[in-house]
Amino acid sequence: KQEVTQIPAALSVPEGENLVLNCSFTDSAIYNLQWFRQDPGKGLTSLLLIQSSQREQTSGRLNASLDKSSGRSTLYIAASQPGDSATYLCAVSKAGGYQKVTFGTGTKLQVIP
Amino acid sequence: SAVISQKPSRDICQRGTSLTIQCQVDSQVTMMFWYRQQPGQSLTLIATANQGSEATYESGFVIDKFPISRPNLTFSTLTVSNMSPEDSSIYLCSSQGVSGRRDNEQFFGPGTRLTVL
């Protein structure tokens, strides 16, 4: 059974700092990995999707990397802003096509002005 | 990306009653899913909503408690039946198989925040 863990569970940083969020998974036979953000009491917003054949994806100040062999992904946020404050979730899917995903435990980020 | 709406956005219900949550996607999608997110927790998949057939439920979830419909490729409903305070959660609808996007890329609705008294 796939288990997805995110460390740290919570993180507080001053505005402008670069930061890294970690995601680890126990079964390396994944098809892709997706990073989401969730604002309090809201749904999930898709940030980045990395296919298993890729090493990284970038979108603006966000960069996500994937190391399947070690079962790890990182989400790098450059020059953090108060608007980045949210919970960040990673999710992995096992097989190709349309398959359910397994969500991580989440990292709650607070960026202090 | 797909735009997904849910109704209602929130509700407060009495124990023993039922609530039906609607999920509407602005384009045809292959797959639709229902998740539950209990306070302070991550997402747990309830079921896959299959178009034109019975939903596929995950371990711990049953049709009598969470009946699901999916009459077409853009719409689904989830009913939370005979509610108890333990059902207080955010319920989220998601979709996969959005035209022009990768197969497994998931998109989520805004969620329905349910409080059961």
pLDDT tens-place string over residues B55-98: 999 999 999 999 999 999 999 999 999 999 999 999 999 998 76
Is residue A95 pLDDT above 70, yes or no?
no
Provide the pLDDT for residue A2: 86
* B83 CA: distance to closest CA in chain A (Å): 20
CA A106 to CA A23: how far, in whole Å? 9
Report yes or no: B73 at the A interface, CB cutoff 8 Å: no
In sequence order, what E strands does A1-112 have? Answer: 4-7, 10-14, 19-25, 32-38, 44-51, 56-59, 62-67, 72-77, 86-93, 101-103, 107-112
Q: From the CA atom positions of chain A, what is the Rg in Å?
A: 13
Taking contacts as CB-CB distances below 8 angstroms, the residues of chain B near A91 are 106
Distance (Å, rounded) from C-alpha A89 to C-alpha A105?
A: 7
Contact by Cβ (8 Å): B21, B78: yes
* pLDDT tier for residue A42 given thresholds of 50, 70 and 90: confident
Please judge whether B102 and A89 are an interchain contact, meaning their C-beta atoms are less than 8 angstroms apart.
Answer: no
Average confidence (pLDDT) over A94-112 = 83
Strand partners, B92: B35
* Contact across the interface for B104 and A41, Cβ inside 8 Å: no
Nearest to A101 among B90, B97, B106 (CB): B106
| pLDDT value for B52 | 82
